Amino acid sequence: MPFETRPLRQSDYNYFPSTCPIVIDNGGSAFRIGWAGESDPRITFRNVVQRPRHKATGETVTIVGDHDPALMKYFDCTRSFQRSAFDGDVVYQFEIMEYILDYGFERMGADGPEVDHPVLITECACNPVQSRAKLAELLFETYGVPSVAFGVDAAFSYVYNQQLGICDRDGIAICSGFSTSHAFPMVSGEPVFEACCRTNIGGYHVTDYLKQLLSLKYPNHVSSITWEKVEELKMEHCCVALDYFSEAKVFQKGAKEAEEKMRCWQLPWVPPPSEEPPSEEELARKAAIKEKQGQRLREMAAAKRSSRILELENEFQGLEFLLQQLENVQESDIASFLSRTGYVSRQEIESALARVTQSLRKARGEQTEIEEKMEPSTSEKYPLIDLPDNMLSPEQLKEKKRQLFLKTTTEGRQRAKQKKFEEELERERQNQQDEEKRSENPELYLQQLRAKHKELSEKVEQRKRLKTNGSHTNGNNNISGAVGRGERLNAAQRERMRLLTTAAFDRGKGEDTFGAREEDWQLYKLMSKDNDDDDEGPDENEVELNRITCRLQEIDPTFVAKSDVGSVVATEIPRLRPLTKEDFQIILGVERFRCPEVLFQPNMIGIDQAGLDEMAGISIRRLPSKGDRLERSISNSIFLTGGSCLFPGMVERVEAGIRKIRPFELPIRVVRASDPILDAWRGAAAVAAAPCFQMQTFSRQDFYEKGEDWLRRYCLRYTL
Amino acid sequence: MNLEVVESEMVVPQHLSFKRVQMSDKYPKGQSRGRHWKHLKQIIQAENYQSCPPNQPNYVNIESPPSIYPSKKFCDITGFEAPYVDPRTNIRYADAEVFKLVRSLPNEYIQRYLALRNAAVVLK
């Protein structure tokens, strides 16, 4: 129910005599209170209580019904939510009921020491005595009510409409309320509860179903899909289909007819500000700034380099000077002379000098490859290698070994260099060839290149898939890369599994000769988990693919390299696009009649009970004493009431459903209450105003004398 | 209390003259009262309907029996008629398009769809 203005406190309370009953329709969704005999309830509000804390004072306050959301900023609602006194259609939390009654009586203007009026309050059919007794106790002891009466809302609604001539004295009342739906026959204007039947489904379920469906369909807009909003959508757009599946077929085909039946709810959406491309001036300015910054960086680098060169030169000179001085120092004094400088020996100074020279060269940007330039011939450098071992002393032998080692490493290095050089040459040659081909026929060349790229990338992809066991099938399982049910193992994993199982089952079969041969131990290597890749560097396909990709990138502006080939997941990354108006629309299509359908097929939401149309049949079947005449007459006045009967198409659907289960050619008439929501209160007000009402109430004295058990037998007469 | 709030009269007053027992006396502040109410299930149990005569109507025996019609199968996602069931997720679906969607849905959503018709796997 959308927010309405708060009801005003009534000022005419004292004009009513104490015999005038107060009539309360205590419904699952709304609470209505007013005076007997009047045409409309004085006060109506949602039957919920919220007890937040007032932020300024810290005290817990009570707010009943709906309220202005703007005022909620003064309250701390973190630990309080809207609570109802109802479990199903039975009042079970009497503390909440008391807050609601407090508010109701207060708004009615009550100000005496007690509420000195008889009270007629509605309850569900066959209300458990405990609930009825507790409510009576609350009214008698807390409010000092002189007498109470209980009645069923649907019966009141029927009686009221009977007065209006909409339905007959005999008929069936079908009431679909907030949390339950009832159907019971009315015989001679009185309800027959022996034949009553209840299905635990109502407007709450319809709204909840719609809310869940919408939030599943539009997970981005869950915050906009509030209970109140969905309730509003339900009341405005939902309807009952005469034949659900044929209606659904229309939508499934996606015909134009279906499009007309769709409703769209546009969420507030602000188009993002469109960005203007920067002007020429702006670009020039930015480029200038960039250039300036680059210049400054270059200058800084140059300054740093020159200062470093200066530093190194100083060090170089100092070391040279030291060496010169060292020439003059006598052999015996060297140690004492050097102790002041921090060097231990002449060699050390020399090596330091060499180092400084090197870095000085480097800093000046000269070539550093000195070793290569002054590479002496092999025999010079490694004089000991060619001599046979028996001619050498042990020290020389050691030296020979060292030289041998040095020689092999240098040679290796040279070979690698040579190879690299050759590869470079090869590539150059290939490029040149490519270039030639290209200049001959650019189109054809490009085509060939693309085809080759595709082929290769497929090959590489496939290899990857085999290796990584295709974890891209769907996100439903297998996120961790583990092998899920029904997924295939790759070859390596299969082999490993086979080895493991043979190892496990081989034991105890004949003589164990494992380990006798050297190769046996290789098994463990094969079994180990990290074995299952054969990554000896990238394979040639990959290398070739990389080359072609580079080439394509160079010459083909339209070419987009697939996100680097090395990555495992091949799923397409959803392209980011600016959000449009359509992204903020909530479309109601099938939902419009799918949600009210739960009233007729509670099975849809997992409630295994009969729907509204069948309930009428069950109710007639349960009727204890029925003649042919009665059966004819009650199906001629099938009466629909309650908030969930407001859906368009309800009457036709109920009629079609009942026709299916009733005998052929029986007259069937289905009518809707004049006002399915308010008629229950109006009927109750009429009953309470009738002269015989005073005889039907249950007084406070009765309560104290006869006790709760008498309430069990209490039964109101509805006939006016 | 802020003026706006007082003017809107949204808060139920603490003291009401027409009550014999005030709320604050009945439920004193700072005292833990425990749970002083019963759920509907407990109320029904306490009513002891088994000992009542079967022809007398009560809250339990007026409940509707299951429908006499075989339950129809609806597509959990779209609401169309659903001839198929996905054996992996148990979702009912209408056609191949929906099946694609079903297979792309994360498990949480599958469970929520199933919960709508009370068929979700509940771990206790």
Q: What CATH number did the domain enclosing A643 receive?
A: 3.90.640.10
Q: What is the reported pLDDT for A537?
A: 53
Show the tokens assigned to B6: 């007082």
Q: Is residue A692 part of a domain?
A: yes
pLDDT at site B28: 81
Q: A700 and A652: one domain?
A: no
Tens digits of residue pLDDT in A118-168: 999 999 999 999 999 999 999 999 999 999 999 999 999 999 999 999 999
Question: Quick one: which H or E segment has residue A588?
Answer: strand A585-588
Contact call for A56 and B1, based on CB within 8 A: yes
Please say which residue of A340, A375, A410 terminates a domain. A375
Nearest one of A369, A130, A261 to B59, comparing CA atoms: A130
Q: Do A141 and B21 touch (CB under 8 A)?
A: yes
- Domain membership of residue A597 (yes or no) is yes
More confident residue, A328 or B20: B20
Do A114 and B22 form a contact (C-beta atoms < 8 A)?
Answer: no
Q: How near does any CA of chain A get to the CA of B124, in Å?
A: 19
A411-to-A40, A386, A417, A504 alpha-carbon distances in Å = 109, 16, 10, 50
Within 10 angstroms of residue A340's Cβ, the number of other Cβ atoms is: 7
Scanning every residue of chain B, which has its alpha carbon at the shortest distance from the alpha carbon of A610?
Answer: B67
Please spell the DSSP secondary structure of A41-70, one letter per residue: -SEEEES-EE--EETTT--B--EES---GG
Statement: residue B92 has pLDDT above 70: yes
Burial of A442: CB neighbours in 10 Å, binned 0-12, 13-18, 19+: exposed
Distance in Å from the first CA to the final CA of chain B: 46
Residue A573 is classified by DSSP as P
- Pairwise CA distance, residues A29 & A203, whole Å: 9
Domain co-membership, A251 together with A338? no
Q: CB-CB: which of A74, A114, A127 is closest to B20?
A: A114
In a domain, A449, yes or no: no
Q: Is A497 within a domain?
A: no
- Work out the average pLDDT over B45-63: 87
pLDDT given at position A332: 73
Domain membership flag for residue A91: yes
CATH of the domain at A101: 3.30.420.40
Statement to judge: residues A697 and A649 lie in one domain: no
CA distances from residue A256 to A250, A259, A397, B98 in whole angstroms, order as listed: 9, 5, 99, 21
Mean pLDDT of chain A: 83
Q: Do B20 and A61 touch (CB under 8 A)?
A: no
- Of the pLDDT bands very low, low, confident and very high (cuts 50, 70, 90), residue A482 is very low
Kindly report, residue by residue over A384-398, the tens digit of the pLDDT: 777 777 777 778 888
Average pLDDT over residues A154-183: 94
Q: What is the pLDDT confidence band of residue A434, given thresholds at 50, 70 and 90?
A: confident
Query: What b/e sequence results for A107-141 when a residue is b if at least 16 CB atoms lie within 10 Å of its CB, and e otherwise?
Result: bbbbeeebbbbbbbbbbbbbbbbbbbbbbbebbbb
Instruction: Determine, yes or no, domain membership for A697.
Output: yes
Residue with the larger pLDDT of the pair A669 and A555: A669
Range of the structural domain that residue A130 is part of: 13-48+83-152+678-713
Of A703, A717, A720, whose CA–CA distance to A148 is shortest?
A703
pLDDT for A562 equals 52
- pLDDT band, residue A559 (cuts 50/70/90): low
Q: Compute the average pLDDT of residues B83-102.
A: 92
The confidence score (pLDDT) of residue A508 equals 58
Residue A638 within any structural domain of the chain: yes
Average pLDDT on A507-525 reads 71
Tell me: pLDDT of A39 over 70. yes
The whole-number pLDDT of residue A4 equals 58
Do residues A223 and A344 both lie within one domain? no
Give the predicted TM-score (pTM) of the model: 0.67
Longest dimension (CA), chain A: 146
- Count of domains in chain A? 3
pLDDT at A244 exceeding the cut of 60: yes
pLDDT reported for residue A576: 65
* Chain A interface includes B57 (CB < 8 A): yes
A41 shares a domain with A125: yes
Query: Given this model, what pLDDT does residue A265 score?
Result: 87
User: Quick one: A652 and A692 in the same domain?
Assistant: no
One domain for residues A105 and A209:
no
Q: Which residues pair with A121 in a beta bridge?
A: A24, A150
More confident residue, A207 or A394: A207
Which of A337, A352, A375 is where one domain is finished?
A375
Least confident range from A56-60, A81-85, A470-474: namely A470-474
A475/B79 Cβ within 8 A: no
**B120 or A145, greater pLDDT:** A145
Q: Report yes or no: B55 at the A interface, CB cutoff 8 Å.
A: yes
Residue A528 has pLDDT above 90, yes or no: no
Provide the 3-class DSSP secondary structure of residue A160.
Answer: helix
For residues B36 and A124, is the Cβ–Cβ distance under 8 A? no
A483-512 pLDDT tens trace: 445 456 667 777 888 888 877 776 655 666
Tell me: do A136 and A24 sit in the same domain. Answer: yes
CB A392 within 8 A of CB A400: yes
Look at residues A612, A598, A601 and name the one whose alpha carbon lies nearest to residue A212.
Answer: A598
A435 conformational bin, left if phi > 0, alpha if psi -120 to 50, beta if neither: alpha
Task: Say if A683 is an interface residue toward chain B (CB within 8 Å).
Answer: no
The neighbouring-strand residues paired with A26 are A31
Q: Which residue has the tokens 């694609």?
A: B100
Examine the fold and report which residue of A375, A403, A423 is the final residue of a domain before the chain moves on.
Answer: A375
pLDDT in tens, B2-39: 777 777 778 888 888 899 888 888 888 777 677 778 89
Residue A226 sits in the same domain as residue A305: no
Q: How far is CA A152 from CA A173, A192, A430, in A?
A: 11, 12, 95
| Residues A86-111: tens digit of each pLDDT | 999 999 999 999 999 999 999 999 98
Cα atoms in the Cβ-side hemisphere of radius 13 Å centred on A609:
20
Asked whether residue A307 falls in the same domain as residue A242, the answer is: no
A67 touches chain B (CB under 8 A): yes
* CB hemisphere CA count around A122 (13 angstroms): 30
* Confidence at residue A564, expressed as pLDDT on a 0 to 100 scale: 44
Q: What is the pLDDT of residue A365?
A: 75
**Predicted local distance difference test score (pLDDT) of residue A253:** 87
Q: What integer is the mean pLDDT of A247-258?
A: 85
Do A255 and A300 share a domain, yes or no?
no
Choose among B17, B62, B88: nearest Cβ to A112.
B17
Residue A649 belongs to a domain: yes
Count the Cβ atoms, other than its own, within 10 Å of residue A243.
10
Nearest to A640 by CA among A161, A174, A165: A174
Q: Which of A409, A387, A410 is nearest to A399 (CA)?
A: A387
Which tens digits make up the pLDDT trace of A562-611? 544 444 444 445 556 677 777 888 889 899 999 999 999 999 999 999 99
Give the model's pLDDT for residue A480: 42
Q: What is the DSSP string of A80-139?
A: ---B-SEETTEE--HHHHHHHHHHHHHHHT--SSS--S-EEEEE-TT--HHHHHHHHHII
In the predicted model, is pLDDT for residue A477 greater than 50? no
Least confident of A9-18, A369-378, A644-653: A369-378
Show Cβ contacts of residue A213 under 8 Å, excluding neighbours closer than 6 positions. A591, A594, A595, B116
Region A448-465: mean pLDDT is 83
* Whole-number pLDDT of residue A445: 81
Residues A230 and A250 in one domain: yes
Task: Give the confidence band of A17 by pLDDT, cuts at 50, 70, 90.
Answer: very high
